[in-house]
Amino acid sequence: MKTNKSRAAFFAAALAALTVFGAVPAGALNLYYGDIHSHTSFSDGEGIPEEAFDYARTTGKADFWTVSDHLEQLDKRQDLLEGAAPVDEFEHTMKVADEKDDPGKFAAFAGFEWATDVSQGHINVLNAKSIPSVNKTYRLKQFYKWIYDNPDAMMGFNHPAEPDGFRFNNFELVPAIARQVFFCAVTRERDIPYFYKSLDAGWWLAPSGHQDNHSRNWGTHPNGNFTGVYAEELTRESIIEAFRARRFFATNDRASKIMLTGNRQPMGARLTAESAILEIDVAHGGGSKISTVSLIGNGGETLEKWTPGSAEFKVSASRAASPGKTLWFVVFAEFDNDRYIMSAPVWLRSEAGH
C-alpha cells in the first residue's frame, strides 16, 4: 500500500472525483434514516440477522439498516435450521440482507466490525464482499492494507472517544485509502472533538450516528442515534453513492434534520473557490425548538453561533478561502430536549492553493 503520496496530490484527486458528486443538487435528494452499526448473536448481541432487519424496518421504522457483527467472533453457525449443515455467519448475513432488501422501501446491508487491535479502536466496514482473516489483519496497518486491496469496501471510525489508546494511530491520514474511509461515529457528545481531530488530520469524513445495538432494539435504542442520508432514491446503490459523497449527518433525534450547502452544492462537497456561501437549514418536526446553531471550523473553533428558539432555522454565512490551506465547515445544532444534530462538512480550498 502506497502511503507516501503527497497530501496535495490526494486533495487534487479527491476534488476531481467529486465533480460527479457535486453535480447532484440538494433539491433533487431525498432524506432517509438508518444505521450502519448493529449486532446480533453472531457476535456479542442478541437475535439473528433476520430478526434485526425485520425489527429495524417494522418497529424501528428505519429506511436502511446494517448488521455488522464483530469480525473476530464470526464463525460457523450450527443452530439456524434443525438438522442443517453449519453455515458461515457472514455469508448468511449477506444472504439475509439480500432477502430483506426491498428497493424503494428498505435497504439492507451486511457489514462487520473490526476490533482486534483494541488499543487502536474499532472500525466498521460496509460494502465488502467477504471478510478478512483475523490473523492477517490483527494490527491496524494490516487492516488498512486489506481495505486498500478491496477497493469497493468502505470503512469508518467507531466510538472514537473510547477505549483509551492511540485511536487509529492518532488519526494519521493514509491517502491510499482516504477515498474508502467515509465516517467518524458521533455516538455521544464526547466523540465530537475526535471527529474534529480527524478532519484536521485531513480525512474526508462525515459524522455518523450509531445505535450499536447489542439487544433486540434495532432502531429503537434509547440513545436515539440515527444517520440521516441524502440520496436520490431508497436503494442500496443510491445509499452507497451518498456515503461515497459524504452526504449524511448524525443525530440522536429522528425528528430532526439538517442541510448544509456550499455554493449550492450539498454537504460533503469539496469546493475550489475563493469563497463559499454556506446555506444552513435546521429543523425539528417533533415539537422541540432549536436552542443553538453553531458553525464550526478547523480546530473545532466556533466561527458563528445563533440562538433561534424556533422549530426551524435558516441562515447564510460567507467564508473566505485561505490560500494553501483546506478549510472545513460543520454545523452543530442543539434542541431544547437535550438532543443534537451534526452536519457533514463542506470543504473549501483556494484556487491559488493548487
250-285 in b/e burial notation, b at 16+ Cβ within 10 A? bbbbbbbbbbbbbeebbbbbbbbeeebebbbbbbbe
For residue 64, the number of C-alpha atoms closer than 13 Å in the C-beta half-sphere is 30
Biggest CA–CA distance in the chain, Å, is 68
User: Which three cell numbers, joined as nine digits, stand for 197?
Assistant: 481531530
pLDDT value of position 166: 84
DSSP secondary structure string for all residues of 73-117: G--EE-SSSTTPPPEEHHHHHHHHHHHH-BTTTBEEEEEEEE-SS
Q: What are the domain boundaries of the chain?
A: 26-252, 256-354
Mean pLDDT by 10-residue block, N- to C-terminus, for the chain (354 residues)? 46 41 68 98 96 98 98 86 82 97 98 93 97 96 98 97 86 98 97 98 98 98 98 98 98 98 98 98 97 98 98 98 96 98 98 64
> Cβ neighbours of residue 95 under 8 Å, at least 6 residues apart?
none
- Alpha-carbon gap, residue 209 to 283, rounded angstroms: 17
The CATH class for the domain spanning 26-252 reads alpha beta
**307 by DSSP, 3-state: which?**
coil
* The domain defined by 256-354 carries CATH number 3.40.50.1100: no
Contact 39, 68 (CB under 8 A): yes
- Alpha-carbon gap, residue 69 to 96, rounded angstroms: 14
Domains 26-252 and 256-354 share a fold: no
pLDDT value of position 99: 98
Tell me the whole-structure pTM to 2 decimals.
0.92
State CA 154 to chain mean position distance. 10
